[in-house]
Structure 1
Amino acid sequence: MWSTAREIAAGDVVIIWQTRDAIIPITISPGGVYNSKFGCYPHDTLIGTLYGSKVHSKSGRGFVHVLRPTPELWTLALPHRTQILYAADIAFIVGWLGVAVGSTVIEAGTGSGSFSHSVARTVGKRGKLYSYEFHEVRAEKAREEFTRHGIDGIITLNHRNVCKDGFTVEDTADSVFLDLPAPWLAIDHAKKALRKDRVARICCFSPCMEQVLRTVTALNTAGFTEITMFETLTRPHDIYQQGSCLSLPTTVGEVGDKLKKAEIRREEKRLKQVAAAKAVWVPKPKEDGEDGDEMQVVKPEAGEDASSGLHAKRKRESDPNKSDDEQTGPSALDAKRVKTEAEIEAEETQQEQAAVDKAKPPMVVSRVLTEVRGHTSYLTFACLVPTHPDAKPMVVFGANSSAEPSTTGTPVG
């Protein structure tokens, strides 16, 4: 399944990762060139490069990553011929159906081949996937991709309308997956294709509840049990390393040091305010050629308070044209001086915080992506329990799974 070598060779399928929303598959061919807004990349320069490498363009202004294909990457990069299944649904389906190495699985329809690649990897060369597609053009394109990716030996693709003509095998499949517009029309055919010597499972993928109801009715009528329906939703996160602007949480010791420094700054500020309250700003005596706008500080004498009558008298003597309230009120220069001190204190705090943040290592954080690749859908699961006394149980993942097959079930719907 694709290349297993460490280095890229001619003819390999390579995933070009440009951005999260720009993932392109290409086939390496000598003399070929891949051009994008991220630069020009001749295929000859990619041959011999290790998978997973970061490759710069010829101009050196852009770069891409060349990755080895996986079913998950192929799901993100494949050309859409139909609505596809994404990793969240695929993993859930494979787990509930009990698909494992050597399993025999039936899929209808093939579509763009997203589910087919994941199942082919899971069952391996000892397993088998019978895939059915009623649209001839889509079937041919899928067959070409399966051959090019080296999984045509695992997948047998048939151009066939299974709702009318049924499947090409009987009593063979361990599980059946139906991704059809009307899956209830294929339920009876699926029952014939499933093996009867052990518990077999079926899953129907439906985009609306009306289809689920009709499918459940058909499953009940056909004798399937343990009918369960799920809706799969995902919340992908983007993990990245944040710089110094978001550092690691502070320790208790750091918090204590910051509180002590803040207490010292508050005490210094209080002392400055007390000193400022005892100082009085009065006009500076005029001299020849001066306009008299300058101010000077008159400090109270020992034992004198700014509110005492003696101090007020001295202020009136300095400026007899102003009342006591005007003399004792804070001047504009006082306000400017206090504001400047506050600004200096804020700058000191910012500098201290910046020094602390710079000394801390960067923090790895996660962010929920706003756009989710996937779509709302409903997965209906059911079991076909054999009645033969020598039947073997089938252990699968799921809340309703058990080591022993159940002989009865409660119909849903």
Structure 2
Amino acid sequence: MRAFLLVHDDREYVRRPGEELQTDLGVLDVPEAVEPGDVLETHLGEPFTVRELRGPDLFEHFERTGAPMMPRDIGLVMGHTGAGGGDRVLDAGTGTGVLSAYLASAGADVRTYEIDEEFAAVARGNMRLAGVEDSVDVRAGDVTAELDELADAEPFDVLTLDTADAPTVVERAGDLLIDGGFLSVYSPFVEAVRETTEAAREAGLAEIRTFETIQRRMDVGERGTRPSTAGVGHTGYLTFARLE
């Protein structure tokens, strides 16, 4: 059963139909027949607007098992690979599962590997929260142990990696991807970029490019507009390549 976002001013809560919300604004029972756009009131008469859960909401409300991939990084992954409806995606390093949920919401079928069984269980719960559990197969295990089996099966359209052993998987990209399929590797440290790039070259991949992901928020005030001095602009490095 899919969940919805309940919004009151700057407050947001995630609940499913039939569940109860208790806050200092009162108690609200979410009806079974609820739809986005409905306005529900607590027993104290405080209104909450029902909204569909979208990508940024998932990032904010998923149960976290570590630092999830940022929306700006996910945007680059989807923009540079074209991942979308009908694609089969092989992902490794599930973590919180934000990337998998974005991909599935765009219409892709995702098989994702998480080496930590407890993290994998949390990710499955997050997929249910996002309503994409039928499109995301979360597997607990090391993808490198499955490479031979995966190489013998139907190839994938896109390969996305966020693991320390990504170069090992990249070496087999030619066996895992369809002709014209894309590879995306997220690296938190620049040292890993060279290993990934060399592995991609050895695998015969083309169009190998790496980007540092940096984003600056702009503050607009009465005195003028300038980049914000708050927050960290850098998150990591994304390497893309294509099998030709």
Using the TM superposition, give the Cα deviation of residue 108 of structure 1 relative to its aligned residue in structure 2, in angstroms.
0.7
Using the TM superposition, give the Cα deviation of residue 238 of structure 1 relative to its aligned residue in structure 2, in angstroms.
7.1
**Percent identity among equivalent residues?**
24
Aligned partner of 1:51 in structure 2 is 36
What stretches of structure 1 of length at least 5 have no aligned partner? 1-10, 247-364, 386-413
Using the TM superposition, give the Cα deviation of residue 144 of structure 1 relative to its aligned residue in structure 2, in angstroms.
3.1
Aligned partner of 2:16 in structure 1 is 27
Matched-pair contact (CA < 8 Å) for 2:96–2:126: no
Structure in which a larger fraction of residues adopt strand: 2
What is the identity, as a one-letter code, of the residue corresponding to 2:21?
V
Matched-pair contact (CA < 8 Å) for 1:29–1:43: no
2:196 is equivalent to residue 215 of structure 1 = yes
What is the identity, as a one-letter code, of the residue corresponding to 2:131?
G
Aligned partner of 2:172 in structure 1 is 189
Aligned partner of 2:163 in structure 1 is 180
Distance 1:162 1:45, change over 3 A: closer
| Secondary structure of the structure 1 residue equivalent to 2:215 | coil
Matched-pair contact (CA < 8 Å) for 2:27–2:44: no
What is the identity, as a one-letter code, of the residue corresponding to 2:160?
F
Matches within 5 A, 1:382-397: 382-385=241-244
| In 2, Cα distance between equivalents of 1:148 and 1:167 | 32
| In 1, Cα distance between equivalents of 2:234 and 2:48 | 28
1:99 to 80, 83, 98: 83
Matched-pair contact (CA < 8 Å) for 2:17–2:34: no
| Secondary structure of the structure 2 residue equivalent to 1:377 | strand
CA shift digits 1:126-163 (9 cap, x unpaired): x4211111111111222233245432222222222013
Distance 1:169 1:375, change over 3 A: same
TM-score, normalized by length of structure 2?
Answer: 0.82
1:151 to 108, 119, 132: 132
Using the TM superposition, give the Cα deviation of residue 47 of structure 1 relative to its aligned residue in structure 2, in angstroms.
6.4
Distance 1:49 1:367, change over 3 A: farther
Matched-pair contact (CA < 8 Å) for 2:28–2:42: no
Distance 1:233 1:66, change over 3 A: farther
Distance 1:216 1:238, change over 3 A: same
Aligned partner of 1:14 in structure 2 is 4
2:81 is equivalent to residue 81 of structure 1 = no
Aligned partner of 2:122 in structure 1 is 141
Matches within 5 A, 1:235-250: 235-236=216-217
Aligned partner of 2:182 in structure 1 is 201
Alignment RMSD (CA, Å) = 3.2
What is the identity, as a one-letter code, of the residue corresponding to 1:212?
V
Distance 1:76 1:220, change over 3 A: same
Higher Cα Rg: structure 1 or 2? 1
| In 1, Cα distance between equivalents of 2:38 and 2:217 | 25
Distance 1:34 1:367, change over 3 A: farther
What is the identity, as a one-letter code, of the residue corresponding to 2:99?
F
Using the TM superposition, give the Cα deviation of residue 210 of structure 1 relative to its aligned residue in structure 2, in angstroms.
0.6
Matched-pair contact (CA < 8 Å) for 1:15–1:77: no
Using the TM superposition, give the Cα deviation of residue 110 of structure 1 relative to its aligned residue in structure 2, in angstroms.
1.2
What stretches of structure 2 of length at least 5 have no aligned partner? none
Distance 1:77 1:152, change over 3 A: closer
Using the TM superposition, give the Cα deviation of residue 218 of structure 1 relative to its aligned residue in structure 2, in angstroms.
1.5
Matches within 5 A, 1:289-308: none
Matched-pair contact (CA < 8 Å) for 1:237–1:367: yes
Using the TM superposition, give the Cα deviation of residue 173 of structure 1 relative to its aligned residue in structure 2, in angstroms.
0.6
TM-score, normalized by length of structure 1?
Answer: 0.51
2:95 is equivalent to residue 111 of structure 1 = yes
| In 2, Cα distance between equivalents of 1:209 and 1:19 | 41
Structure in which a larger fraction of residues adopt helix: 1
| Secondary structure of the structure 2 residue equivalent to 1:174 | strand
| In 2, Cα distance between equivalents of 1:72 and 1:224 | 32
Using the TM superposition, give the Cα deviation of residue 85 of structure 1 relative to its aligned residue in structure 2, in angstroms.
1.4
Matched-pair contact (CA < 8 Å) for 1:162–1:189: no
| In 2, Cα distance between equivalents of 1:178 and 1:374 | 22
CA shift digits 1:336-390 (9 cap, x unpaired): xxxxxxxxxxxxxxxxxxxxxxxxxxxxx988655458752100111111xxxxx
Aligned partner of 1:71 in structure 2 is 55
- How many residue pairs match? The answer is 241
